[in-house]
């Protein structure tokens, strides 16, 4: 069952763009549907995984619109596009894993062992500079 029927309507209504497309109009419609789906995770995403997934959807949508407007890409362009997707997916996996590990360790949380909490746990003292009050 389709969870976002509005995306189909957006993609269906944007086919053509006022110019004669060199590629299939279905690719153009699917591209605009992916772009519409990418807005939510990019705008309202609170973690790296959601924003990265939205960015991958956005890139896929833009590339589909490109195919719809200009036709089938060359072999070199397809290779570069494939490398872009693999690189984006790898970067997303790397950042998501590091964010998960940091969340489990309590880095960046109130009271956790964050970078800016000013305590040196080994020495039992603060590492923040002390400024006299009279200045």
Helices (DSSP H) in 1-135: which residue ranges? 5-13, 25-44, 48-70, 75-105
> pLDDT > 90: what percent of the chain?
35
119 or 60, greater pLDDT? 60
Check whether 70 has a pLDDT greater than 60.
Answer: yes
Q: Could you tell me the pLDDT band of residue 4, with boundaries at 50, 70 and 90?
A: low
Q: Taking the complete model, does pTM exceed 0.75, yes or no?
A: no
Percent of the chain with pLDDT over 70: 64
User: What is the predicted pLDDT for the residue at 11?
Assistant: 53
């Amino acid at each position: 069952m389709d969870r976002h029927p509005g995306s189909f309507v957006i993609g269906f209504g944007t086919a053509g763009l006022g110019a004669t497309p060199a590629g299939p109009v279905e690719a153009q419609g699917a591209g605009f549907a992916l772009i519409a789906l990418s807005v939510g995770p990019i705008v309202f995403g609170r973690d790296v995984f959601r924003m990265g997934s939205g960015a991958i959807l956005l890139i896929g949508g833009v590339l589909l619109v490109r195919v719809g407007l200009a036709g089938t890409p060359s072999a070199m362009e397809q290779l570069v596009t494939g490398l872009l997707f693999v690189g984006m997916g790898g970067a997303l996996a790397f950042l998501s894993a590091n964010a998960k590990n940091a969340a489990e360790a309590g880095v960046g949380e109130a009271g956790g062992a964050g970078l800016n909490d000013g305590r040196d746990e080994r020495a039992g003292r603060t590492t923040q500079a002390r400024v006299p009050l009279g200045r």
